[in-house]
Chain A
Amino acid sequence: MRNVYLVTAFLVVLTLSILGLRGTLFVKAPMDVFPEWIFPGMKYQSKLKPQAQSKFFADGRADRPLPAGVVPAAYGPAGQPLRNDDARYAGKDADGDFVARIPAAVKVDMQFLEHGRDRYVIYCAPCHGALGDGQGITKQYGMGATPTFHDDRLRQMADGEIFNTLTHGKGNMLSYADKLTPDDRWAVVAYVRALQRAQAGSVSDVPLVNKPELGL
C-alpha cells in the first residue's frame, strides 16, 4: 500500500512540475481543456467576426475590402442618408470654395464644444498640444514641425479648410476621417476656434464678477 501512495505522490509532483502554477507567463496559444470533439458546444461557430480570420476567402480576412468603385451610401451614424450636402460633408460650397463658417445644419452649442474638446484631446493633442501651440508630447520623440494655431494664417483660415485637412490630411498629417465622423470633425473645428479665442484673450475679456478672484 505504501508503494501506491508513493506513486501517487510522484504523480502529483510530476503534474505540478509540468503544468506549473496559475498566472505564469506563456506565449503558446492557450490550451482548450474542453475541446470540441469531446464536448461539442458552440464555442467555435462558422460565422465571421470583425477583424477576424476566415478560411473561406483567399486573402484570409473576414472583413471584406470594398470592391473598386463602390460608394458607401450610409456610412457614419445609422440612418444617415447619402452625403449630398457638400458644405457639411466636404466643407465646400457650391463653387468648390471652402465654407467660411461651420454649416448651419450643424448645431453648435456647449455640448457640441465639449464633444469637440473630447475628440481634440484624444486625436489632436498628442501632436498639436493641449493648447494648440504645436508642442504636443510627440515633439520630444522626433515629430516634425507642427504649426501653432495661434498665428494669423490659421486664425483666418476658413472653417471648411480645417475640416478638409481633418478629412484628407495635409503635408505630414494623414487623414483622420476614419476616426472622426463629419460631425466630430466640425466639433473639433469649433474647439480649435475656442482654443484660438482663448489664447487671444486679454484682461478685458474677464467678466467683472470674476476679476476679484484673479486680483484684478
Chain B
Amino acid sequence: MSKLFPKSANKLPLQIIVFLFVFGGIATAGVTYYMTPKYTRVGYAPVQPVPFSHALHAGQLGLDCRYCHSNVDKSGHANVPTAQTCMNCHNQVKVDSPLLAAVRQSYETGEPLPWVKIHQLPDHAYFNHAVHVNRGVSCVECHGKINEMEVVTHTQPLSMGWCLDCHRNPETRVREPGDIYNLNSPTIAEKSGIEAGIKFVHDWNIKPPQSCSGCHR
C-alpha cells in the first residue's frame, strides 16, 4: 500500500491547534481593542451647522457653561441653546458674518438649527445632568476640556464600566460646588487630598447608585 500522507503530516494536528490558539488570541485582542466605545466613540468630532468655538466663548471670553446650557442645573437634560441666546450678543457682534447666517435664519423663522449630538447614551440609560452638577461632578469629568476645544470632541468613552468607575469611587472625582463650571479646576482630592474628598462625599450625602435600576428602568 502506497503512502497517502507524507511523514510531516503527523505534526499537522498539533500545528493546527497551535494556530487556532494564536488566531483566537489575535481575534480576542482585536475585539477588545475595537468593539468598545473607547474606539467607536472617543474622537468623534462631527461638523456642526455653525462652526461654534467653545474655546473662544467658554475659554477666551469666560462665559459660564450655564449662559447657554441654562437648564443643566435644573433639569435632567442639558439644553442646547436657542438661537435667541446667540442673538443676545450676535445682534450686535459680527452681525454680517456669513458663518452666522444659519443662526440669524433660525432666529427669524423659528426653525431649529440641526446641531449634531455628540454625546449620546443608549435609550435605556437615564442620565440626569442636574443631579450630577449639583453634587460635585463637573462638566469636565464627562465632556473633557470643552473650554479648550475649537471643535467639540468626544473624549470619554461613556461606557457603563466607565460610569461605574466614578460611581464606586466618587471621592476621587468630586469638586467644590464653586468649581463645577470651572473646567480648569482641580478635584477636591487633587487639591486637599483624598481624605477631603471622602469627607465631601460624606457631608454632601453623595450615594452614587451601583444597582441596575439606578440608571436603567
CB proximity of B75 to chain A, nearest CB, Å: 8
Taken residue by residue from 110 to 142, chain A's Cβ proximity to chain B (1 for < 8 Å, 0 otherwise) reads as 000000000001110011000000000110011
B67 CB contacts on chain A under 8 angstroms: 122-123, 126, 179
A45 CB contacts on chain B under 8 angstroms: 123-124
Supplied contacts A29-B46, A50-B77, A143-B89, 17 more A-B pairs, CB within 8 Å: A8-B26, A19-B39, A24-B43, A25-B43, A27-B44, A42-B122, A43-B123, A44-B123, A45-B123, A51-B79, A51-B80, A61-B112, A122-B64, A126-B63, A127-B89, A141-B61, A141-B93
CB proximity of A65 to chain B, nearest CB, Å: 7
Taken residue by residue from 56 to 92, chain B's Cβ proximity to chain A (1 for < 8 Å, 0 otherwise) reads as 0000011110110010000101011010110111011
Smallest CB gap from B151: residue in A: A25
Contact A50 B33, beta carbon cutoff 8 Å: no
CB proximity of A41 to chain B, nearest CB, Å: 7
Measured in the bound complex, the distance between the Cα atoms of B122 and A124 in whole Å is: 36
How many A residues have CB within 8 A of the partner chain?
50
The A interface, classified by DSSP as helix, strand, loop or mixed, is loop
Taken residue by residue from 137 to 152, chain A's Cβ proximity to chain B (1 for < 8 Å, 0 otherwise) reads as 1100111100000000
Smallest CB gap from A176: residue in B: B88
Measured in the bound complex, the distance between the Cα atoms of B64 and A24 in whole Å is: 29
Contact B94 A142, beta carbon cutoff 8 Å: yes
Contact A42 B22, beta carbon cutoff 8 Å: no
Does B50 lie at the interface of the complex (its beta carbon under 8 Å from any beta carbon of A)?
no
CB proximity of B190 to chain A, nearest CB, Å: 23
Q: Which of B162-182 contact A (CB under 8 A)?
A: none
Smallest CB gap from B64: residue in A: A122
Contact A50 B79, beta carbon cutoff 8 Å: yes
Smallest CB gap from B95: residue in A: A142
Measured in the bound complex, the distance between the Cα atoms of B43 and A28 in whole Å is: 10
Q: Which of B35, B42, B75 is within 8 Å of A23, CB to CB?
A: B42
Measured in the bound complex, the distance between the Cα atoms of B121 and A52 in whole Å is: 13
Contact A42 B93, beta carbon cutoff 8 Å: no
Does A108 lie at the interface of the complex (its beta carbon under 8 Å from any beta carbon of B)?
no
Does B153 lie at the interface of the complex (its beta carbon under 8 Å from any beta carbon of A)?
yes
Does B52 lie at the interface of the complex (its beta carbon under 8 Å from any beta carbon of A)?
no
> Given A4-B19, A8-B22, are A27 and B45 also a contact pair (CB < 8 Å)?
yes
> Given A41-B124, A122-B64, are A174 and B91 also a contact pair (CB < 8 Å)?
yes
B45 CB contacts on chain A under 8 angstroms: 25-27
Does A109 lie at the interface of the complex (its beta carbon under 8 Å from any beta carbon of B)?
no
Does B38 lie at the interface of the complex (its beta carbon under 8 Å from any beta carbon of A)?
yes
B22 CB contacts on chain A under 8 angstroms: 5, 8
Taken residue by residue from 103 to 133, chain B's Cβ proximity to chain A (1 for < 8 Å, 0 otherwise) reads as 0000000111000010000111000000000
